[in-house]
A and B are shown apart, each in its own frame.
Chain A
Amino acid sequence: MKLDTKSLVLMAVAIVINVVVGQIAVWIKLPLYVDAVGTVLVGILAGPFAGALTGLLTNLIWGLISDPVAAAFFPVSLAIGLLAGLLARAGWFKSIGMTIAAGVVIAIVSTIVAVPIIVYMFGGVTGAGTDFATAYLLAVGQELVQSVAIANLVQNLADKILTCLIAWVIVKRLPLRFTSGFAFYGHSKA
């Protein structure tokens, strides 16, 4: 599948948005990653293939420049971009209510993809804040996989709903002359 030049430029900028917005979340000490805004944005504007490629490259580039561990989570980012595009095609980004529902779906799927990576590659921990929740759930009698899944699902729900809402607000504020260059965006117009 050959993407047009404008979509390629959007993908490149979206990768930078992912990294820098993730950095802003660290600056203000948000307990969320918010590092997939650009990926969801590309999914809404350019479709599932471009979204998936943006997600994949974000983590590989992130791994290349500063955090090699991030590269291990590339399937999660790929799934987020792919799903954002597929949901956009189905009209899930037409209204704020549908966007929140899209965030819930993306959170559930990204948790399903992330849990095997966290459990089998990292032994159930990542060195991040969710480890406290995982440890608590283990202490109250849950199994490891269940503990990791619950802890990550709770965080992902907040993270991905916020991510989808931010992407939706940005897209709705974009001028018509900009969005008219992306035919795929027609699926998300109210």
Chain B
Amino acid sequence: MAVAHPSGADHALLFVPGQSVMHRLNPLTKLTCVLWVAVAAFALPPQGTIPLALVAIATGIFAGAGKVFARRLILTLVPLSLALFVVHGILVDHAGDRTVILGLDLSHDGLAYMVRILGRIAALLSGSLLFVCTTHPARLLKALDAHRFPPGMAYVIASPLLLLEPFTQRARAIREAQMARGLNLEGSFLARAKAFPALLMPLVTLALADIDHRAQVLDGRGFRAMPHRTVLDAPRDSTAQRVARWVILISIPFLIAGGILWH
């Protein structure tokens, strides 16, 4: 199975090419760290999740992904903050004291809950962003193949990553062609709803048309003839990273226990 070379920046990906320490780490080591951060985001209170998010953001900036981090964090956290402020700060009837500021009757517990949720999501988001910004999917797949991942499953994960960019371009071409024929994408809700099938059907029909051919080519190459694939240029791994992965995994139950005690 051919996979994209990880040196170039793809429009459909958040990956930022670079040579930082994070870029050089084995993808499975980074994936283990993402798992640890995901558990920590739920186990720890805001005093733990907010510093964790800040460390991940600082590491992301150091790895050259500052712009991607800023954009994704603003796009996700700003609307969430506003919604949480209205829902928990004002509307939900939390127990505890309330304060009137600028005419708004704000709940102390509601605002504390808002900070807790934002800290959790910031940690989750920045941890996963650090992974996706410094790991090209092709490198992840090579790491999975090197660790004897079944080829059928590897195909189902790799193929969409490779097809996404051409399909997005195809969808754009269909949109331009239909608009040239007078399709209205800026009109009323009804007009836009009517435009949906005109964009959708050609794309899906084209996508499904060559499934038979793709399946025949794959079978012809015998891509599942062997239980595991051999990777010629597997991402570099080391004893230190293997030990680190085990230490991270073993620490997770202690992290959960520590989080419970901290709460």
Contacts and interface: CB of A to CB of B under 8 A. Distances in A.
Interface in B119-173: 120-121, 124-125, 128-129, 132, 137, 140, 152, 155-157, 159-161, 163-164, 167-168, 171
A127 B195 CA distance: 26
A185 B29 CA distance: 41
Contact of A24 (B12, B84, B196, B223): B196
Contact of A8 (B129, B152, B185): B152
A171 B209 CA distance: 12
Interface stretch (B17-25, B199-207, B248-256): B199-207
A19 B164 contact: yes
Interface in A29-52: 29-30, 34, 37
A111 to B, nearest CB: 18
B207 to A, nearest CB: 5
Contacts of A181: 212
B107 to A, nearest CB: 12
B47 interface: no
Contacts of A128: 79
A8 B155 contact: yes
Contacts of A69: 76, 121, 124-125
A166 interface: yes
Contacts of A178: 208, 211-212
Main secondary structure of the interface of B (DSSP, over half): helix
Given A131-B83, A138-B92, A144-B92, A27 B156 contact: no
Given A53-B156, A125-B83, A63 B128 contact: yes
A28 B196 contact: yes
Nearest to A54: B156
Nearest to A134: B87
A68 B120 contact: no
Given A12-B160, A28-B185, A64 B132 contact: yes
Contacts of B208: 10, 13, 170, 174, 178
A5 B76 contact: no
Contacts of B125: 68-69
Contact of A28 (B87, B195, B212): B195
Contact of A37 (B83, B204, B211): B204
A121 interface: yes
A63 B133 CA distance: 12
Contacts of A144: 87, 92
Contact of B167 (A2, A5, A20, A72): A20
The 9 closest A-B pairs by CB, nearest first: A127-B79, A68-B128, A125-B83, A12-B159, A123-B117, A138-B91, A15-B160, A6-B215, A131-B83
Given A16-B160, A64-B137, 18 more contacts: A8-B218, A9-B215, A12-B163, A13-B211, A17-B203, A20-B167, A21-B200, A30-B193, A34-B196, A124-B87, A126-B83, A127-B80, A128-B79, A134-B83, A173-B205, A178-B211, A178-B212, A181-B212
29 contacts: A5-B218, A6-B211, A8-B156, A9-B159, A9-B211, A10-B208, A10-B211, A17-B207, A27-B199, A28-B192, A30-B192, A30-B193, A37-B200, A57-B156, A57-B160, A61-B161, A65-B13, A68-B72, A68-B132, A69-B125, A121-B120, A122-B117, A125-B83, A127-B83, A131-B79, A131-B83, A173-B205, A178-B212, A181-B212
